[in-house]
Copies of this chain bind each other. A is one copy, B any other.
Amino acid sequence: MSGMITVIGLGPGSVSQLTPEAADALQAADVVYGYGPYLDRVPAREGQRREASDNGEEIDRATRALTEAAQGANVAVVSGGDPGVFAMAAAICEALERGPSTWRDLDLAVVPGITSMLAVAARVGAPLGHDFCALSLSNNLKPWAVVEKRLTAAASAGFVIALYNPISRARPWQLQRAFEILRAHVPANTPVVFGHAVGRADERIRITILEAADGSEADMATCIIVGSSETRLVARPRGPALVYTPRSAGAFST
């Protein structure tokens, strides 16, 4: 079987954050599969086909992409950010495992990208400077009780928490509920960062504290970072505050 499939991370949005490896893999593809708004970011190439599909159709998209690769094509599948973080690489692996055994013989590569939490963190300092976790708030694919359990475990053990998929039309209350849970485990003045569409034209960053964090500030394109009790907020005369988590536990205790 001569086909191949490459799952490619486009990074947060700006072409300046697309790696050369990802740009080369996009150039080489016969066809690119992805969610429409991500495909719009792929540099145009004469003769290359685009296969757009809706958000939420990941397994179907993965199956169609694998089918075409099995017929001999060089197929790219794109994700925003990193394809391995709440994105298409897991969907491709799952479709491959469930599919015909011959698919296991395909050339499969994953090209990493800058995932959203890293881009948001960079804009404000270094909130992920010490132990952290990344958690999807979507309960489409897992019970909400699992989300609550993980929020509680992570916050009580002192992890900084990056929240992906915070909200959608079908899931309007989850983020606000997550803040309520976290308030039981981390101090009210813990820094919280809302990073919307980082690296894109409509980028918007807001820094607040847990006590004042309002779930309705987020949308589907927002990644939220909630600090730990160690996370620091440093005011600056010009521009926004710095938010960072020191490398040492207790670095600022007296």
CB distance from A202 to the nearest CB of B (A): 19
Interchain CB contact under 8 A, B128 and A19: no
**Contact A96/B242 with A17-B19, A89-B129, A150-B159 known, Cβ cut-off 8 Å:** yes
Kindly report how many copies of this chain are found in the complex they form together.
Answer: 2
Interface assignment of A248: CB less than 8 Å from any CB of chain B: yes
CA distance A67 to B32 in the complex (A): 48
Size of interface on A: residues with Cβ below 8 Å to B: 80
CB distance from A141 to the nearest CB of B (A): 4
Interface assignment of A63: CB less than 8 Å from any CB of chain B: no
CB distance from A208 to the nearest CB of B (A): 18
Interchain CB contact under 8 A, B11 and A17: no
CB distance from A232 to the nearest CB of B (A): 6
Interface assignment of A20: CB less than 8 Å from any CB of chain B: yes
Interface assignment of A133: CB less than 8 Å from any CB of chain B: yes
CB distance from A231 to the nearest CB of B (A): 10
Interchain CB contact under 8 A, B118 and A86: no
Interface SS of chain A: helix, strand, loop or mixed? mixed
A110 touches which of B87, B123, B152 (Cβ 8 Å): B123
Interchain CB contact under 8 A, B122 and A89: yes
Which residue of chain B is the closest to A140 with respect to CB atoms?
A: B248
Contacts of A250 in B (CB 8 A): 142
A244 touches which of B16, B93, B113, B154 (Cβ 8 Å): B93
Interchain CB contact under 8 A, B115 and A118: yes
Contacts of A244 in B (CB 8 A): 89-90, 93-94
Per-residue contact bits, chain A 13-25, to B (CB 8 Å; 1 contact, 0 not): 0111111110010
Which 5 A-B pairs give the minimum distances between C-beta atoms? A90-B129, A133-B133, A153-B157, A93-B244, A89-B126
Interface residues of A (CB under 8 A from B): 11, 14-21, 24, 58, 82-87, 89-94, 96-97, 104-105, 108-115, 118-119, 121-123, 125-136, 141-143, 146, 149-150, 152-154, 156-159, 232, 234-238, 242, 244-251
